[in-house]
Amino acid sequence: MPFPRNGGYPIVVCNTVLGLVNLGHEVSLVSLNTKKHIHESEERDELLDKINYRAYDIDTSVSFFDGVLDIFSKSTYNIDKYYDEEFDKLLIRTIRNTNFDIIQFEGLFVAPYVDSVRKNCSSKLVYRAHNIEHHTWETLALQRTDPFKKFYLRLMARRIKRYELQQINKFNAITVFTEQDRNTIMHYGATIPVEVVPLGVDLDHYKPDFSKTEFPSLFFLGSLDWMPNREGIEWFLKTFHNDFVNDELRVRFYVAGNDIPEEFDDYDILGKVFIQGEVDDGLEFVNSKSIMLVPLLSGGGVRVKIVEGMAMQKCIISTSLGAEGINYKNGVNILIANTRDEFLKAIKRCVADEDYIKAVGINARNLIEQQHDVNKVTKILVNIYQSLLKVNGQL
């Protein structure tokens, strides 16, 4: 469910819809509202008034018993749990009642419905791979020392990979955010078009104000129910704990985001490290701090928070993996750090030079304006749609 727009997936989906609406296309959005992600929002998203929208409630929670059974079965339970027979029927009714040109599947977890959709319409089906899902599980498995966790993660990675490979050629085209993901999918045997479409953002939504920014200050913003985010920020907090305590790093560090576990309070250091949890306004929080940290060690695709941070003229220090899919220049519009020493050096450089921080941020905003403006990016996507429709002479 892409509302409210407070995370990577919702931002990607809503920006895509917004770009299509801005170009004059009619859009319908049908989404799964998982029990885990039900949010009550006081303000109705204005985008809802511009599209046909339907949400269907589904419970994807997993009991301990289900988890144990999953180990001994051959199913891909992490994906299968998103299949719901009633939602399947809702989809079928929707596509039978409207003659859609394109039906786009946003991510692997809605792929279980492709067979039903294919049987009940002649629309062109496009799959947007938000990442290569099994890569995330493989990387997490490599970094675990607990034998049982390592075994389980490897098992899930193999099953998810098998599922991903089974889905590749069920669509008419695939779009990805990065060239790396495109190469991976082609290597796995895609016989359909696989195109790179950069992540797009609505630049009017990002209005930086340096007068409200604390210089210097470090911050992290991300949902910790996504394992790579939690793994990355835990690594950073553990690695640099003593540096904050003994004043090797003389800068305040703020950690914010959804689903931060209570045990993270142990990382709080009076006057130095602040575990804030969920914030009311993510962009206001980003604007109030000067140096953004993205210590990502696993995962794939493109990091929405980095694109948003760049749009807000933030100076960002990220791992190479975190910055994947962005056409950056290290030291110009972002700083890349992959080790403790590289992070320490980058942070100290930024903390010591406010003018440098601002210059990197301005360069970052320029990059986003050139390559990630949602209206420019959506035109690339529409060209892909049109090429698919031309095959059957629909245009």
Q: Which CATH number does the domain housing residue 91 bear?
A: 3.40.50.2000
104 and 172 in a single domain? The answer is yes
386 and 271 in a single domain? The answer is no
Decide if 300 is inside a domain: yes
164 and 222 in a single domain? The answer is no
> Smallest Cα–Cα separation from 304: which of 286, 279, 280, 278?
286
267 and 180 in a single domain? The answer is no
195 and 211 in a single domain? The answer is no
Q: What is the chain's pLDDT, residue by residue, as a tens digit (395 residues)?
A: 888 787 788 889 999 999 999 999 999 999 999 865 555 555 678 899 999 999 999 988 766 555 555 565 666 778 889 999 999 999 999 999 999 999 999 999 999 999 999 999 999 999 999 988 888 888 888 878 888 889 988 998 999 999 999 999 999 999 999 898 999 999 999 999 999 999 999 999 999 999 999 999 999 999 888 888 999 999 999 999 999 999 999 999 999 998 899 999 999 999 999 999 889 899 999 999 999 999 998 876 678 889 999 999 999 999 999 998 899 999 999 999 999 999 999 999 999 999 999 999 999 999 999 999 999 999 999 999 999 998 765 55
Neighbour-count burial for 105-124, b at 16+ CB within 10 Å, e otherwise: bbbbbbbbbbebbeeebebb
Residue span of the structural domain in which 189 resides = 8-200+374-391
Residue 207: φ, ψ to 5°: -125, 85
157 and 227 in a single domain? The answer is no
Number of domains in the chain: 2
> Smallest Cα–Cα separation from 130: which of 14, 15, 310, 300?
300
22 and 153 in a single domain? The answer is yes
Decide if 1 is inside a domain: no
Decide if 2 is inside a domain: no
Tokens of 391: 């095959």
CA distance 77 to 109: 11
339 and 271 in a single domain? The answer is yes
Question: Chain centroid to CA 344: how far?
Answer: 26
Confidence (pTM):
0.85
- Dmax over Cα atoms in the chain, in whole Å? 69
383 and 323 in a single domain? The answer is no
183 and 241 in a single domain? The answer is no
CA distance 17 to 378: 9
CA distance 351 to 330: 17
187 and 255 in a single domain? The answer is no
